[in-house]
Structure 1
């Protein structure tokens, strides 16, 4: 997180506008100050993390929210690139998925899962906020209610 800013830089890679809206509302309702960058396909996500083309000046995210089912480049491929990028390998990643719980558990057991958390869609806003707040250093982005 930028020490001069109280806002967290969040990269949301999600192609479903309804899920984007739910996540935006969860941040707003949870009083999390953020600079949210929404990307709707895997290729654009790779361009963002490698700072190519229109994303040449993209900031480094504090947290990445990643859907696994993406157009153009699959979310699993994007996750692999994130976790092998020297500047992003330690960045928390929350995988967003529509898989049922048995498939999620199977996925985590059968792969060297590099994500830091997996949330099932539809996203429960309170569970989502608890997961995001659990990342070390991210608590600085939570605004204190007066």
Structure 2
């Protein structure tokens, strides 16, 4: 069953670790982020959403994707998103603890828009979230007007 409910201007956070979900949500709240945030807790949830997506439904403005997920890896999810003719336009930011060259290289090969290694320090993490929100919600242009 598809549990993901994307509304207009939603940020989709794909993260299985409850502590990291809480940390990310607190960092967004601290930065006064106004976008709704939808959380997918494993790769299967996102794959189900991809499979059941119907043209015309709202798309997330950005997907924050952890790589180390149960059921389907973040790289498998990324490949499915970037292989879909409609969903491939969604910016995907890998936000993970992995700084392995193989993960970084494969993510970019699959079409990731940005790769960020999660800082351990909360204040640094708040700054990372602020930069993500600033770039993807304010600075990035998604269409020509």
In the superposition, the TM-score normalised over structure 1's length comes to: 0.74
For 1:47-126, list aligned pairs within 5 A.
47-51=48-52, 59-100=58-99, 103=100, 105-109=101-105, 112-122=109-119, 124-126=125-127
Q: Are residues 1:15 and 2:16 paired?
A: yes
Could you say which structure has the higher helix fraction? 2
Q: Do 2:11 and 2:38's aligned partners in 1 also have CA atoms closer than 8 Å?
A: yes
Residue-by-residue CA offset, 1:127-146 (whole Å, 9 max, x unaligned):
222133213xx218xxxxxx
Q: How many residues align?
A: 126
Q: Do 2:59 and 2:90's aligned partners in 1 also have CA atoms closer than 8 Å?
A: no
Residue-by-residue CA offset, 1:31-67 (whole Å, 9 max, x unaligned):
2112211111111111123336xxxxx7421110111
Q: Do 1:95 and 1:118's aligned partners in 2 also have CA atoms closer than 8 Å?
A: yes
Instruction: Rate the CA distance shift 1:106–1:18 in 2: closer, same or farther, 3 A.
Output: same
In the superposition, the TM-score normalised over structure 2's length comes to: 0.74
Residue-by-residue CA offset, 1:7-40 (whole Å, 9 max, x unaligned):
6211111000111111111211112112211111
Instruction: Rate the CA distance shift 1:115–1:22 in 2: closer, same or farther, 3 A.
Output: same
Gaps of 5+ in 2: 1-7, 140-145
Gaps of 5+ in 1: 1-6, 53-57, 141-146
Name the CA distance, whole Å, in 1 between partners of 2:36 and 2:51. 19
Residue-by-residue CA offset, 1:48-90 (whole Å, 9 max, x unaligned):
23336xxxxx742111011101111111000001111122212
Instruction: Give the 4+ runs in structure 1 shifted more than 6 A.
Output: none
Name the CA distance, whole Å, in 2 between partners of 1:44 and 1:87. 18
